[in-house]
Structure 1
């Protein structure tokens, strides 16, 4: 098979030395792909990050129809207009019914829809996939998709798991996979896509898990259609704590990655820095300089101006504090429960900002001559409150850094020694060092994230398999 980078006929000598083959597709890809999960079409920073990735030699972009309700694909399409289309590999996905797709599904009533929950449906029926491929091509501005993946088809099994998954459920699941593959083979013949595959969070699960997606059974469906099938790419989560793709023997004596290697299937690893373990997420990155420690006493000292200001509300204006102890006490009670800046970002509005606004609206301003002084109090309160929120965010970052330091210590115990690399670089480099893995998909929404990730190419390779096996036998530590 001729070696190519995306769609152009490059000779092997023109392929950069650090590129990897995408299975037996004939495509060669940068070891780090640009993950578009949270790429917003109206955020210029996100577009600038994608352009920076391409400028640094990146050539694989991973997106999906449901990422920011199509906005991610539109952003990619805008960037593609300014570059050589043949220089990049475009991977997109379909299957989710949310947002605009929900409105479409409610009008069209597609067959075999899995109504998983309110606002979250799923479908891989050919009738629905046809709309997804056409819409993705339009948003991306391309005639042909390089790779199209069924996006988490295991929602069918996950929904059945609520009442118990049966053998009949599994048979039905793989029948639906086969029907989708028949349709996708026809799309390849029509020229709308070149290769297809599956992105599944359940490929790495133990075989005994009732929702395990069997890569071997999926491959068998493609082989039953034609020995010259185009099921050539899969995607799965892989990171220091979710190691199943490398360590879980769940496919006729092989791990998912080993089976893909044996069968010439290209492999894309997602979530390299967002590890879900013990029902929580561990962000594999540094938030503050290593060694930083959270101090509730230091936080209390930083919030003392706000506390002093709040006392004036009762002393000067005879008005009630927010809650029993005021905003200061509420923040000091909340802070220890925040194990990362992301937890703070996701909950700050609901837990703090909105309640403060409602409390301020309910306060009855005092009559003159105290009204002017109260207005001044409110203005200063808002300034102090904003400063307090920033202090809480820093406290959450310190708590997360404490966890990051523990992960770094575990990496050292696993044989990974580096004082210069950031934790995110160490986590990515562990996966990048796996010879069989085609590409690590990294969320790089800012140009500085691109620069940090691409520095991994200058890091010496490590024994990724040994490191992942070490982590597979250990629970995350908080010490």
Structure 2
């Protein structure tokens, strides 16, 4: 697991090569504000090899935040992340490794009959109950998430992960009420608190696509204030003298999808229950609550890397030699953002993304001005 001393030592080794605030507080220390994601790509040996090389290069170049999930690339992503981390000359304790559980994973390749695979692999074996499923392939039941964490640790070949996200819990809203989803999240958090106390994870959080950025009351909306309150209750139930381990949220954010900054849809974390309070954005909530905010889709899964994809007036304010660098620096510039993830299985793209960190992000006032 990442440690304070090792994370700061990594920063001391690489920090002078980067711009202002490139390393930011995360977990027990600091980590790079550019992170490498592992979502995209086919589940093939060739893509495995490419990611293995790319992650190794990133770790040797100043990126020490790697993000994956149990279901990415049919489970192959975690194996490659673990191999790259274990084979790297960089100490494991200097790397933040984050993964996710929620979607039922395949095992190496997509089966010909996914429904039959879920029935035989998960339902018939008792790994998950049919009643807990949403959309046929998503569960956040405590037993399933513990199985998922164990599966992740096995695939990664690591003793612990630094952050374990409950993956897209808003998916559960297709099968049950919002209050029921909050109840299930609290039960999930209690299980993760127990695993945190046992040393299997350093912290946990929630990774979302829609939940925190859509309008309040929308079909896939979840309240950050309520999610945090459920984590606080879970911490009190499991380890009342040790606070709680809910420390991070992940959500999409880029120049074309800026709702996490522009939409005020969450009650402030310090607001009195029942009292009127002006709503704030997801990123402002994270900042006020002391949560790390990690952005996904930071360059729009490659769409914003094209010349002209960023509006010209915004593009002119951003530092970077390429559209991808400027898009990444937009995401890193938003107040409250801890790290911005970008997928890369090509060494040239890794070098381009790393180089984005050599430019200073926009200051808070300059970033605000973009939206005036």
- After TM superposition, the score normalised by the length of structure 1 is 0.64
8 Å CA contact retained: 2:334, 2:367: no
Q: How do 1:37-436 residues align onto structure 2 when only pairs under 5 Å count? A: 37-38=39-40, 40=43, 42-43=45-46, 44-83=49-88, 84-100=91-107, 102=118, 103-109=120-126, 110-111=128-129, 112-116=131-135, 120-159=136-175, 169-201=177-209, 202-225=211-234, 226=236, 228-252=243-267, 253-274=279-300, 283-286=303-306, 404-405=307-308, 407-412=310-315, 416=317, 421-436=321-336
Structure having the higher Rg: 1
Distance in 2 (CA, whole Å) between partners of 1:107 and 1:240 is 45
1:128 positional shift? 0.7
Residue number in structure 1 paired with 2:273: none
Superimposed CA distance per residue, residues 412-450 of structure 1 (whole angstroms, 9 cap, x where no aligned partner): 4xx5166x6211111101122235211101111100011
Distance in 1 (CA, whole Å) between partners of 2:179 and 2:69 is 27
8 Å CA contact retained: 1:247, 1:469: no
Distance in 2 (CA, whole Å) between partners of 1:424 and 1:467 is 18
Runs of 4+ in 1 over 3 A off after TM superposition: 10-17, 463-471
Residue number in structure 2 paired with 1:442: 342
Aligned-pair Cα RMSD in Å = 2.4
1:214 positional shift? 1.2
From 16, 26, 29, the counterpart of 1:27: 29
8 Å CA contact retained: 1:243, 1:469: no
1:50 positional shift? 0.9
CA separation of 1:150/1:469 partners in 2, compared to 1, >3 Å: closer, same or farther? farther
Distance in 1 (CA, whole Å) between partners of 2:354 and 2:338 is 16
1:256 positional shift? 1.0
8 Å CA contact retained: 2:6, 2:94: no
1:210 positional shift? 2.6
Looking at secondary structure, tell me which structure has more helix per residue.
1
Residue number in structure 1 paired with 2:111: none
8 Å CA contact retained: 1:41, 1:72: no
1:269 positional shift? 0.3
1:132 positional shift? 0.6
The answer for unaligned runs of 5 or more in structure 1 is: 161-168, 276-281, 287-403, 474-479
Distance in 2 (CA, whole Å) between partners of 1:179 and 1:249 is 28
8 Å CA contact retained: 1:31, 1:438: yes
Residue number in structure 2 paired with 1:383: none
8 Å CA contact retained: 2:284, 2:335: no
1:271 positional shift? 0.3
CA separation of 1:8/1:41 partners in 2, compared to 1, >3 Å: closer, same or farther? farther
Distance in 2 (CA, whole Å) between partners of 1:197 and 1:236 is 11
Distance in 2 (CA, whole Å) between partners of 1:13 and 1:75 is 25
- After TM superposition, the score normalised by the length of structure 2 is 0.81
The answer for unaligned runs of 5 or more in structure 2 is: 16-21, 108-116, 268-278
Distance in 2 (CA, whole Å) between partners of 1:237 and 1:255 is 13
13-22 vs 266-275, greater mean Cα deviation: 13-22
Residue number in structure 2 paired with 1:358: none
CA separation of 1:124/1:421 partners in 2, compared to 1, >3 Å: closer, same or farther? same
Distance in 1 (CA, whole Å) between partners of 2:189 and 2:309 is 44
8 Å CA contact retained: 1:408, 1:423: no
Distance in 1 (CA, whole Å) between partners of 2:8 and 2:56 is 25
8 Å CA contact retained: 1:239, 1:427: yes
Distance in 1 (CA, whole Å) between partners of 2:92 and 2:309 is 43
